[in-house]
Amino acid sequence: FPGIEVDEETIVSSTGALSLKEVPEKMIVIGAGVIGVELGSVWSRLGSQVTAVEFMGHVGGMGIDMDMSKQFQRIMTKQGIKFKLNTKVTGAKKEGGKITVSVESVKDGKVEDMVADVLLVCVGRRPYTQNLGLEELGIELDNRGRVPVNSRFQSVLPNVYAIGDCIAGPMLAHKAEDEAIISAEGMVGGPVHIDYNCVPSVVYTHPELAWVGKSEEDLKSEGVEYSVGKFPFAANSRAKCNNETDGLVKILGDKHTDRLLGAHIIGPGAGEMINEAALAMEYGASCEDIARVCHAHPTCSEAFREANLAAWSGKAINNM
């Protein structure tokens, strides 16, 4: 981060945040995207007073549904995390064992100094493509340091392939793994296909946040008419038994064909449950298809079925 030197002791990256020697009384997190809220949530639950400073006007990073972002922020705030949105960090300095962080409101220019014991810098990751000799081979990088590839993951040199974090797309291990499998199959003449719309994203907080497919903002920008189905975990028997009732399942379906277009989950086991949505989307399932599949009781995944039922028919069964 410009002007802030990471020492992995009091000014830390996500790596240093995993090995702090003690729980800091106060922690400031630069960035309220996926990594920022994950690690901020961990240290908050361990007892630290956490404040996340985010330049954008929402939490959860890129691709998140704005409705779910607001719900997620509300839950994290209830757990004790403070958020300063639409705010940029202008500098940080160490003073007497503390760190003073200077911030400025993007909207009105209001300046403020904040003091913390640890500063966690979570402003995203960059591909590791420098000093690898790519330029000498004639492989040019894009403006974000990524390797341009074709549909078979070949660079401008047909015998040099690139996948994962060093090419375009979300920096997710499961996305990279699928690209590795598909590119290897393509090398021996197999078909090459991946639907990036069906790659799920998960935020590993408590409760978890997960989504796959389109957000409401995506569908509005694309001019697609859609229906919405929601089901809260407060009405789910397994979640109530476990005392994990925060969150909901939100389903977006095509208004005319009922095809499942997007699934968004905040709640217990969201990272597991989202894979059912990914499977359904890969096979082109409708919301009715999912609503008619018998789900074991009592399980949290019943909420997924109920939300699909609401998207298809307009009303869930167990949400009065």
Could you give the residue numbers annotated as active site?
297
Q: In what order do the strands lie in the sheet with 208-213?
A: 201-203, 208-213, 260-267, 248-254, 226-232
**Do residues 209 and 180 touch, judged by C-beta distance below 8 A?**
no
Residues sharing a CB contact under 8 Å with residue 89, sequence separation 6 or more, in sequence order:
1, 4, 30, 53, 101, 102, 103
Burial of 226 (0-12, 13-18, 19+ CB in 10 A): buried
Angle at 195 between CA 193 and CA 197, to 5 degrees: 170
**Do residues 166 and 155 touch, judged by C-beta distance below 8 A?**
no
CA-to-CA separations, 273 to 130, 225, 267, in angstroms, rounded:
38, 25, 10
Half-sphere exposure (CA, 13 Å, Cβ side) for 274?
25
